[in-house]
Chains A and B, each alone.
Chain A
Amino acid sequence: MTAQWPAVSVVAISLLQVMTVALGGPLLVGLMRKVRCRLEGRVGPPIHQPLLDLRKLARRERTRPDQAGWVFSAAPVVLVATTLVVAVTAPLLATDPAFANSTDLFAVVYLLLVGSVAIALAALDTGTSFGGMGASRAMTIGALSEPALLVALLALSVPAHSSNVPIIIARSLAHPAWLATPQRLLALVAFLIVIVAESGRLPVDNPSTHLELTMIHEAMVLEYAGADLALVKLGEGMRLAVLLGLFADLFIPWGIATAPGAGHLALGLVATGAKVAVLGAALAAFEVSVAKLRLFRVPELVAGAFVLAVLAVISALVVA
């Protein structure tokens, strides 16, 4: 497939994807905040507020706890860098960005895991009880949600005979009936739970709280300031955007550019943007309606996702 796309367009697509994700991530966070506020009867900050926050933070002084070492300083860079690599290689706007031939779903999962591990290590490097608490909780949830994600992706790659994302998209577009099969629906639910868990949204984690006993993600990044904090916030937004983008790819693939050309690409940009915005808004609306789960109920939720994903694979085989 790579052969038909001119090299220039491949590079252009990758650059466009990186910029879209880097800008779109914070905007998505802003959008979700806005939706939440509106549903709660508040006006809320403008949608581009996270971008303004990033600009402000980037100029502030960086600090580091006296006990911490290079791991603490390196983690935000690794978090953003791995998400950037995913944004370059994963087909978000068009089915053929750079290295599409090697865009493997499992590689995407493990790249995102690198970022999570980096932040968890940084949290432990601070030498505080908050850091340890956050890292322990995040890794426990991650230890269950990462396999759920892998197995859900596996269920999707069974009918396509491939875990290569462009191929899965191409085959789903060719056989739309696939999208309504039982294994798709099971995998869809599992994937959604994982997105909620991985991006630290309600009911797993509340991104807007600093209440000591319930924090997960915020507890890990408590010590960051200035440009480091900006990177962490940027990384979070980008991860959410990438995960929702992948979700859109796999479950509602229409609109993504399948042929080179500016027109197709513009359509892809609009379509993916709209899909991710709608998904984000729906997620925010869902967040308003639920309360945070007790910490020790969260593994049950994520383990449920894992079971659903395994069922999806088994039913994929029975159907196949």
Chain B
Amino acid sequence: MSARPRNDHHCAAGSRRHVTSLLLIATALVGLAASAVGALVTQRLRIQLVSVLTIAACSGGLAVAIEVLRSGRSVVVHTHLLLPLVGFSLDLDRFGALFVAVSAGVAICAMVFRLGYHGHGLSSRTASCVLPLFVTTLLLVPAASSVTTFLFLWELMAIASLLLVLADHRHRSEVAVAAVWYAVMTQAGAAALLVGLVLLSTHAGSQSFSAIADHSAHLPAWVRSTVFVLAVIGFGSKAGMVPLHVWLPRAHPEAPGPVSALMSAAMVNLGVYGIVRLGDGLLGGGPTWWWLMVMALGALSALYGSLHSATSTDLKRLLAYSTTDNVGLMLLGVGASGLFASTGHPALALAALAAALLHMVFHAVFKGSLFLSAGSLQQATGIRDLDRLGGLLGRMPVTGTLFMVGALTIAALPPLCGFVSEWLLLQAMLHGLPSLDPSLAIALPLGVGVLALTGGLTALTFVKAVGIGLLGRARSEPVALAGEVPRSMWIGAGIPAALCLVFGVAPLLVIPAVVEAARTVTASRLPNPFVGGWQVGLSGIHGVLAPGLLAAALTVAVTLVAGIRRALQRSALRSTEAWGCGRELQTARMEYTATSFGEPLSRVFEDVLSPSHDLDISHVAESRYYVEAATFHTSLEDAFERHGFRPAAAALAWWGGLARRVPNGSVHRYLAFGLIALVVVLVVLG
């Protein structure tokens, strides 16, 4: 194995690069060691050892990524020990390092959380072996610098995550169904990627990313466009982009808590990574229609995801749809960036891409905290259905507060970090507006409209998740008896929740790194457009945001108002029974449920969501005027699944059934087939 720095004449820098290269190799090796330990050690020691080793690997990855982001010197590793003939090559630049840092951060939190997590499936030998492997691939995929290395790691990541989704299959039958959906979608995506990347590397004459980037400008337009469309399909299916998102609301809820956090906060990012790396990096940008397509898909994902998460009643399904929504917002930013670049506005392109990447980082932070604390809620109650939760903030104050912080962040409320990235996305799109280019003039206002509408729907969604899930009365017995989870789960979910606040007050801790990452793939010669200091802003735009000041003002105002209320108070706060129209002793049956909370919205968007209702009333035999029993069932299926994928699967099954009639076991028939084939071949060749 050789770790070779690119230019050796800089001695100090060279030795430092040696160190980082070695650290990257060590990261991978420790990850693999954790995987081996998971497979070999007895169950008692397994959880602790695997978690500690994986955390060590992630810390190494985080250190390498931060060093690359800080210095801008990429880390190169090349070895022929793996992947015979072509070799295994890694080249981690700033853009990749941003994703490595995010994955490593999420994985550290998930592994700390895992120490307290009781999922039976996740403690099995297979899952303990695969979990570190999955984390390691998450760290290495953004570093891959050749087509084979990339596809190898990508496929390893897909299979590892599939096995982890399957972890609980012995306990619940839905897991297998979800895993089949995931397997099909991820393999179809991988096939599209394989074809696209092979086409690209044959035409470019090399499979190393840097050589492809040098040649790609000379490739014929149809090759470039085909590769890009295939990549959007392949990466989009991993990112959970509509209409390829159908696996996400199935697989994420069924996966164990730490795994769904890893998938939702780290793995889907790599889909966005792929689209940017290929579109902006390897192909060096493209025609307007590419980016309009990305924007349209992003807008569709954002709207569709937020609508479905607003009407979901399963807590983790709601979070999964909200991941689709947020990926849509990132793609909206990525598409806008490409659009700006292709219409000659490189500064705006940089700003939009940086805003999208910032949203990616912050999404990982808040979604990590949400999925992990949702895992705690599920472990404490055994329930994911919001209609049966409730009253948990009092019973699980720490976990409840952590979930609430994540929820308020995703709703983009100041002074939390979701607000900053949403604000920047809006600003980046807004300031492309005064332009005569017709594609910009139509696409950007619609993009802003989508952004605003998703913002409103997200606020509704998470008021529902917190209000129905954590506040009010307990709606079922396991919830009424629930107690707090182990402390390591608090820490695991608490780190990202704390970061929501820290990054919200001081976003400049991350913004410079994000901008530098964006500059490695687009507009590298332009100066940094971000206004520094304690304010966030873009140069050329009047109007900045001072999140620290906003937070301080809010703190002062809250203290002031609370102080005045306290001063006015003459007697202690009295506890009373809530008013129930004169009826005494209210029960949880009278509370609003998540279904009823989302009902007005599903009525407003009836055409899009097409909810199905099923009311069954049976009457008493003696008289039709008396009802004996009434059952009401309402369900909201995914329209793409019902009208797109199910018919397609049915058509495939039908075709398979037809084909099965041909080989009926008769030897004579097979001989006849052989003869016919021979004749056809002779005719064709002749």
- Identify the A interface with B (CB < 8 A): 58-59, 61-69, 71, 73, 76-78, 80-82, 84-85, 88-89, 99, 101-102, 104, 106-107, 110-111, 113-114, 116-117, 120-121, 123-133, 135-137, 139-140, 142-148, 150-151, 154, 157-159, 161-164, 167, 212, 222-223, 227-228, 231, 295-296, 299, 303, 306, 309-310, 313-314, 316-318, 320
CB of B532 to closest CB in A, whole Å = 14
Considering only CB atoms, which chain A residue lies closest to B559 in the complex?
A81
Q: Can you list 16 A-B contacts with CB-CB less than 8 angstroms, sorted by A residue number? A: A59-B568, A66-B578, A82-B557, A84-B560, A102-B535, A120-B467, A124-B463, A124-B468, A127-B473, A127-B591, A128-B580, A140-B600, A143-B457, A144-B453, A154-B433, A162-B541
Q: Are A133 and B592 CB-contacts (below 8 A) given A143-B456, A146-B455, A162-B542?
A: yes
| Complexed CA–CA distance, A146 and B412 (Å) | 12
Q: Given A66, A296, A313, which contacts B603 in the complex, CB threshold below 8 Å?
A: A296
- Contact indicator A89/B419 (Cβ below 8 Å): no
Give chain A residues whose Cβ lies under 8 Å from the Cβ of B466: 121, 124
In the bound complex, how far is the Cα of B574 from the Cα of A227, in angstroms? 12
Across chains A and B, the number of contacting residue pairs, with CB separation under 8 Å, is: 272
Whether B579 is near chain A, meaning CB under 8 Å from some CB there, is yes
- Residues of the B chain whose Cβ atoms lie less than 8 Å from the Cβ of A71: 393, 471
Digitize B579-599: 1 where CB-to-A-CB distance is under 8 Å, 0 elsewhere: 111000010101111001111
Residues in A with CB closer than 8 Å to B574 are 61-64
Among B433, B573, B590, contact of A128 (Cβ-Cβ < 8 Å): B590
Chain B proximity of A294: nearest CB distance (Å): 12
Is B543 located at the chain interface by the 8 A CB criterion? yes
Are A128 and B586 also in contact (CB < 8 A) when A62-B574, A113-B413, A136-B600 are? yes
A136 B448 Cβ-Cβ under 8 A: no
A81 touches B604 (CB 8 A): no
Contact: A77 with B472, CB < 8 Å? no
17 further A-B pairs in the complex, CB-CB below 8 A; given A63-B573, A129-B592, A136-B464 = A62-B574, A81-B558, A84-B557, A102-B549, A107-B545, A113-B459, A121-B467, A125-B472, A127-B578, A128-B579, A136-B596, A136-B597, A136-B599, A150-B452, A154-B445, A231-B561, A309-B449
Of B245-253, B262-270, B342-350, B424-432, the one with at least 4 CB within 8 A of chain A: B424-432
Q: Tell whether A139 pairs with B459 under 8 Å between CB atoms, given A64-B574, A124-B467.
A: yes
CA distance A298 to B431 in the complex (A): 32
The chain A residue with its CB closest to the CB of B536 is A102
Interface residues of B in 342-372 (CB under 8 A from A): none
Report the separation of the CA atoms of residues A68 and B391 in the bound assembly, to the nearest whole angstrom.
9
A88 to B592, CA, bound (A): 37
Query: Is B446 an interface position by the 8 A CB rule?
Result: yes
Interfacial chain A residues near B414, Cβ < 8 Å: 107, 110-111, 114
Q: How far is the CA of A129 from the CA of B546 in the complex (A)?
A: 40
Closest 8 CB pairs of A and B: A132-B592, A124-B467, A164-B543, A147-B452, A127-B472, A81-B557, A65-B578, A143-B456
Structural contact, A107 and B423, CB atoms closer than 8 A: yes
Bound-complex Cα distance A106 to B32 (A): 47
- Of chain A, the residue at the smallest CB distance from B546 is A102
Question: Which residues of chain B have a CB within 8 Å of any CB of chain A?
Answer: 310, 390-391, 393-394, 408, 411-414, 419, 423, 426-427, 430-431, 433-435, 441-442, 444-446, 448-449, 452-453, 455-457, 459-460, 463-464, 466-468, 471-473, 535, 541-546, 549-550, 553-554, 557-558, 560-562, 565, 568-571, 573-581, 586, 588, 590-593, 596-601, 603-604
A128 near B578 with CB under 8 A, answer yes
Contact A161 B434 (CB under 8 A): yes
Q: Which of A78, A140, A148 meets B460, CB within 8 Å?
A: A140
B434 partner residues in chain A, CB cutoff 8 A: 158-159, 161, 317, 320
A313 to B580, CA, bound (A): 46
List, in ascending order, chain B residues with CB within 8 A of A59's CB.
568, 570
Q: Do A127 and B391 contact each other (CB < 8 Å), given the known contacts A106-B426, A310-B449, A316-B433?
A: yes
Q: Within the complex, which residue of B426, B471, B543, B573 is in contact with A124, where a contact is CB–CB below 8 Å?
A: B471
Rounded to whole angstroms, the CA-CA distance of A133 and B467 in the bound complex is 12
Q: B270 to nearest A CB, angstroms?
A: 30
Cross-chain contact of A154 among B448, B457, B467 (Cβ < 8 A): B448
Complex Cα spacing A84 to B554, Å: 9
Q: How far is the CB of B82 from chain A (nearest CB, A)?
A: 49
Q: Are A64 and B471 in contact (CB under 8 A)?
A: no
Measured between C-beta atoms, what is the minimum distance from B479 to chain A in Å? 13
Which residues from chain A contact B573 at a C-beta distance below 8 Å? Answer: 62-64, 73
Q: How far is the CA of A58 from the CA of B592 in the complex (A)?
A: 30
Closest to A228 in B: B565
Q: With a CB–CB cut-off of 8 A, which chain A residues contact B446?
A: 310
- B310, A143: Cβ atoms closer than 8 Å: yes
B578 contact from A67, A73, A296, Cβ within 8 A: A67
- Contact check, A110 vs B467: say whether CB atoms are below 8 A apart: no
Asked if B570 and A124 sit within 8 Å, CB to CB, the answer is no
A73 surroundings in chain B (CB, below 8 A): 573
Residue of A nearest to B540 (CB): A161
A283: shortest Cβ distance to chain B, in Å? 23
Residue numbers in B under 8 Å from A99 (CB-CB): 546, 549, 553
A163 to chain B, nearest CB (A): 5
Q: How far is the CA of A231 from the CA of B562 in the complex (A)?
A: 10
Give the chain A neighbours of B444 by CB distance below 8 A.
Answer: 317
Name the CB-closest residue of A to B586.
A128
B597 near A135: Cβ-Cβ < 8 Å: yes
State whether B596 touches A132 (Cβ < 8 A): yes
Q: Smallest Cβ distance from A193 to chain B, in angstroms?
A: 14
Chain A contacts for B576, CB-based, 8 A: 63-66
Asked if A127 meets B546 with Cβ closer than 8 Å, knowing A135-B463, A157-B430, the reply is: no
- Rounded to whole angstroms, the CA-CA distance of A184 and B488 in the bound complex is 55
CB distance from B354 to the nearest CB of A (A): 18
In this complex, what residue of A is CB-closest to B390? Answer: A127
Q: Please, which residues of chain A bring their CB within 8 A of the CB of B560?
A: 81, 84
Residue ID in chain B nearest A71 by CB atoms: B471
Q: Which of A132, A144, A146, A164 has the most CB of B within 10 A?
A: A132
B553 close to A142 (CB less than 8 A): no
How many angstroms from the CA of A146 to the CA of B601 in the assembled complex?
Answer: 15
A132 near B597 (CB under 8 angstroms)? yes
The residue that B452 contacts in the complex, of A78, A151, A159, with Cβ under 8 A, is A151
- Across-interface contacts of B435 in A (CB, < 8 A): 317
Q: Which residues of A contact B596 (CB under 8 A)?
A: 132, 136
**B600: contacting residue among A114, A116, A137, A163, CB under 8 A:** A137
Q: How far is the CA of A167 from the CA of B561 in the complex (A)?
A: 31
Is the CB–CB distance between A146 and B456 below 8 Å? yes
Known: A64-B574, A140-B601. A117 touches B459 (CB 8 A): yes
CB neighbours of A58 from chain B (8 A): 568
Q: Which residues of A contact B588 (CB under 8 A)?
A: 127
* Neighbouring A residues of B471 by C-beta, 8 Å: 68-69, 71, 121, 124-125, 127
Report if A161-B541 is in contact (Cβ < 8 Å); known contacts: A81-B554, A135-B597. yes
Q: How far is the CA of A96 from the CA of B448 in the complex (A)?
A: 28
* A residues in contact with B457, CB < 8 Å: 143
Residue from the list A63, A124, A128, A151 in contact with B448, Cβ < 8 A: A151
A123 vs B568: C-alpha distance when bound (angstroms): 23
Q: How far is the CA of A110 from the CA of B408 in the complex (A)?
A: 12
Partner of A142, one of B456, B549, B580: B456
Residues of A within 8 A of B391 (CB): 67, 127
